[in-house]
């Protein structure tokens, strides 16, 4: 079984084990949010755009999920969360903390962060509604609050933010 498919199956097994309701849609592989327009997704307006960020001292890492049509103002976001200067994290950091490669960033990658070094921020616009969790060749939709509780149960640090 290919690596991406194994990761999808592992996540689905965890969701099933917790009896979490979700919808899943398989699709051709995509590694950028702008590629989803051609996929005919069932809930494209909630397919999260995910960014992996770090501060300028390489001490704090953030997995940020925003609505697909939004852009992140890093200066404003940094001020909101009280962080130092932010930029995109390196591919090596993504592999180290999330066991993911560029183009495959997903909120579920936080489950791979055994030492809980990565803070997950969900756009507050997801709160109380659906969020699309992208996994390269599939997207899973579930309630964002359920996703937050699910990740928290596994020790992940999750918060909503005005992004």
CATH number assigned to the domain covering 1-161: 3.90.960.10
User: Which of 93, 43, 41, 51 has its CA nearest to residue 71?
Assistant: 51
Tokens 């969790």 locate to 133
Note whether 45 and 68 are within 8 A (CB): yes
Which pLDDT score is estimated for 23?
A: 95
Which pLDDT score is estimated for 28?
A: 85
Q: Which residues, in sequence order, are bridge partners of residue 143?
A: 130
Tokens 């001490």 locate to 59
pTM above 0.85, yes or no: yes
- What pLDDT tens digit does each residue of the chain (163 aa) get? 477 678 788 889 999 999 999 999 988 887 777 777 778 888 989 999 999 999 999 999 999 999 988 999 999 999 999 999 999 999 999 999 999 887 788 899 999 999 999 999 999 999 999 999 987 788 999 999 999 999 999 999 999 999 8
Per-domain residue ranges of the chain: 1-161
Which pLDDT score is estimated for 101?
A: 85
Which pLDDT score is estimated for 34?
A: 73
Q: Which residues, in sequence order, are bridge partners of residue 23?
A: 141
Could you tell me the two tokens for 119?
């803070």
Distance (Å, whole) CA 77 – CA 96: 24
């Amino acid at each position: 079984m290919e690596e991406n498919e194994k990761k999808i199956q592992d996540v689905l097994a965890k969701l099933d084990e917790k009896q979490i309701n979700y919808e899943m849609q398989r699709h051709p592989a995509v590694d950028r949010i702008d590629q989803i327009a051609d996929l005919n997704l069932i809930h494209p307006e909630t397919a999260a755009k995910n960014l992996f960020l770090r501060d300028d001292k390489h001490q704090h890492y953030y997995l940020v999920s925003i609505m697909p049509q939004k852009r992140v103002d890093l200066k404003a976001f940094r001020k909101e969360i009280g962080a130092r200067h932010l930029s995109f994290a390196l591919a090596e950091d993504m592999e180290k903390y999330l066991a993911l490669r560029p183009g495959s960033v997903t909120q579920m990658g936080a489950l791979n962060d055994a030492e809980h070094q990565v803070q997950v921020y969900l756009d507050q616009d997801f709160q109380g509604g659906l969020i699309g969790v992208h996994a390269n060749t599939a997207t899973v939709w579930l309630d964002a609050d359920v996703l937050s509780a699910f990740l928290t149960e596994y020790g992940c640090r999750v918060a909503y933010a005005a992004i």
